[in-house]
Amino acid sequence: MSNLKKAFLVKYGEIAIKGKNRYIFENILADHIRRALKPCGDFKVSKEQGRIFIEPFSDYDYDEVVDRLSRIFGLVGICPVVVLEDMDFETVKEATLMYMKDEYEDFNFTFKVESRRADKRYPLNSMEIACEVGAYLLDHIPELKVDVKKPDVKVWVEIRSRAYIYSKIIKGLGGMPVGSNGKAMLMLSGGIDSPVAGYLVAKRGVKLDAVYYHSHPYTSERAKQKVIDLAKIVSRYSGRINLNVVPFTDIQLYIYEQCPHEQLTIIMRRIMMIIAERLAEKYGAIALVTGESIGQVASQTIQSLNATNSVCNMPVFRPLIGFDKQEIVEISEKIDTYGTSILPYEDCCTIFVAKHPVTKPSLKSIIRSERRLEKIDEMIEEAINNVELVKIKPDEEE
């Protein structure tokens, strides 16, 4: 872009209302940006009055940088900017004109100049800056037309310790930076729902680990690899994930032999919750996350959810609880998990399913049936002791 100095200005949303604790969230977000951009080149990431600035000190791939920034929770806008060290107003006007000529091939659009003067020592106020810069552009680009209500293009001039000029805001994911709101254990299957649930909870700043229940030989190695692949896709947004692969065959067969078949799914889910909670405690997580949605299957009626919840001491987050299937599918397509989720490799949840599962289970009846499982505590302990740990890293960290 001619000889103008290029950089990125990134905007955040909710972090701005965090009061005296805001710097903690800003620091976490800045660290995520540094980590994400490390493979792309040499960048300086700095904070200034509600903005984070990213300055390159080496060549970089613009599309790759934008793609990586667009996957960081906490950012609401990514703005490619030009930076002026010299803030003489004539220089600012000339640089804005040069920026417009470099950025746009034709000027068949309406525009408006917006200004923000964070440095109150600057001799012109925000309104004066916007009016003067707008008039200067009109004088030098006659094709331009002003529309102050609904312009096609907004040209921003921000006066801070330096001047920043930009006109494009690439939408970010929003949310909170991962790790700013504790850690949770995601119950991850090979289906559509649980990866989306993990994504949505990570968006609220929660760090994720995950647990997957594998029933070899009833489920294949391809089914396990499918879940690993899903965890890897989720990690693009959530960061590193410790995926705990729990050997679940013996427990499932034991439940199948000892308990009424219409209660199999509920009892199996309860044991899964117990194991997930134990693993969560091991990794310092303080909540569980599932992909359940009210009424989607027999194990997700309100009565069934109550029955499975009753074995947990930790809170259970169900971010999809009020979503219909199409809404979940749309998010899975957006985050690129859908194509992997629909691969035809069954997981343990689909193998031992009763023909007529109970949809309104009595908790007393479930507990009564579980009394038949005399060996379940030692089997749970054995499963936990034989967990296979798979360390999942985002592609950029490979």
Same domain, 135 and 254: no
Claim to verify: residue 124 and residue 190 sit in the same structural domain: no
Q: Are residues 203 and 158 in the same domain?
A: no
Is 213 marked as a binding-site residue?
A: yes
365/297 same-domain check:
yes
Count of other CB atoms within 10 angstroms of residue 14: 14
Q: Are 195 and 333 in contact (CB under 8 A)?
A: no
In whole angstroms, what is the distance from residue 109 CA to residue 152 CA? 6
Opening angle at CA 45, ends 44 and 49, nearest 5: 135
Provide the CATH number for the domain around residue 285. 3.40.50.620
Residue 174 has pLDDT above 90, yes or no: yes
Residues 6+ apart with CB under 8 A from 359: 298, 301, 303, 304
**pLDDT for position 166:** 97
345 is in an annotated binding site: no
* pLDDT for residue 2 is more than 60: no
User: Does residue 110 register a pLDDT over 60?
Assistant: yes
pLDDT at 140: 96
CA distances from 274 to 9, 185, 311, 376 (A): 45, 12, 7, 11
pLDDT for the residue 220: 86
Q: For position 317, what pLDDT does the model report?
A: 97
Helix (H) or strand (E) holding 317: strand 316-317
Do both 153 and 191 map to the same domain? no
> Average pLDDT in the 134-147 region?
95
Contacts (Cβ under 8 Å, ≥6 apart) of 386: 247
Tell me the CATH number at 61.
3.30.2130.30
Write down the residue that tokens 């000027």 correspond to. Answer: 107
Is 223 found in the same domain as 131? no
The whole-number pLDDT of residue 190 equals: 93
pLDDT at 79: 96
Question: Residues 116-125: what's their mean pLDDT?
Answer: 91
Residue 176 resides in a domain? no
DSSP labels for 116-127?
EE--TTSSS-HH
Q: How much is the pLDDT for 340? A: 96
Q: In this predicted model, what pLDDT tens digit does every residue of 71-102 receive, in sequence order?
A: 999 999 999 999 999 989 999 999 999 999 99
Per residue in 360-389, pLDDT (tens digit) is: 989 999 999 999 999 999 999 999 999 999
Domain tally, the chain: 2
**Residue pointed to by tokens 């810069």:** 133
- Strands 110-117 and 153-159 turn out to be parallel
**Are 114 and 215 members of one domain?**
no
Helix (H) or strand (E) holding 272, with range, is: helix 264-283
Domain boundary among the residues 147, 171, 195 is at 171
Residue type at 106 in one-letter notation: D
Report the amino acid identity of residue 96.
T
Helix (H, G, I), strand (E, B) or coil at 371: coil
For residues 354 and 67, what is the distance between their CA atoms, to the nearest angstrom? Answer: 45
Residues 102 and 126 placed together within one structural domain of the fold: yes
Task: Give per-residue pLDDT as tens, 257-314.
Answer: 999 999 999 999 999 999 999 999 999 999 999 999 998 887 889 999 999 999 999 9
Is 300 annotated to bind a ligand? Reply is: yes
Residue 211, pLDDT above cutoff 60 = yes
Of 145, 171, 197, the one marking the end of a domain is: 171
- Does the residue 178 lie in any domain? no
What is the percentage of the chain residues whose pLDDT exceeds 90?
84
Choosing from 171, 199, 225, the residue where a domain stops is: 171
Q: Is residue 204 annotated as involved in ligand binding? A: no
Residue 396: which pLDDT band, with cuts at 50, 70 and 90? Answer: low
User: How far is it, in rounded angstroms, from Cα 221 to Cα 29?
Assistant: 37
The domain in which residue 350 lies consists of 183-397
In a domain, 385, yes or no: yes
Task: Tell me if 177 is assigned to some domain.
Answer: no
The SS3 assignment for 136 reads helix
Mean pLDDT of 119-135: 94
pLDDT digits (tens, 9 = 90+) for 308-354: 999 999 999 999 999 999 999 999 999 999 999 999 877 655 556 66
Q: What is the pLDDT of residues 147-156, one digit of tens each?
A: 999 999 999 9
Report the side by side order of strands in the sheet with 241-247.
316-317, 288-289, 183-187, 207-214, 241-247, 388-392
155 and 277, same domain (yes or no): no
d(CA 211, CA 198): 12
For residue 1, the model assigns a pLDDT of 42
* Residue 265 CB coordination number (10 Å): 23
CB 195 within 8 A of CB 337: yes
Share in percent of the chain as helix, strand, coil (round to 5): 45, 20, 35
The rounded distance, in Å, linking the Cα atoms of 181 and 345 is 34
Asked if residue 228 belongs to a domain, the reply is yes
Strand 43-48 relative to strand 51-56: parallel, antiparallel, unpaired? antiparallel
Tokens of 288: 């569980």
> Is 187 marked within a binding site?
yes
Do residue 364 and residue 237 come from a single domain? yes
pTM value is 0.92
Same domain membership, residue 104 and residue 79? yes
pLDDT of residue 350: 57
Q: Are residues 190 and 166 in the same domain?
A: no
Average pLDDT, the chain: 93
For 25-74, the pLDDT digits (tens) are: 999 999 999 999 999 999 999 988 778 999 999 999 999 999 999 999 99
**CB-based contact 172:14 (threshold 8 Å):** no
Task: Please give the Cα distance from 156 to 49 (Å, whole number).
Answer: 16
pLDDT higher than threshold 90 for residue 17: no
Which residue(s) pair with 110 in the sheet?
A: 145
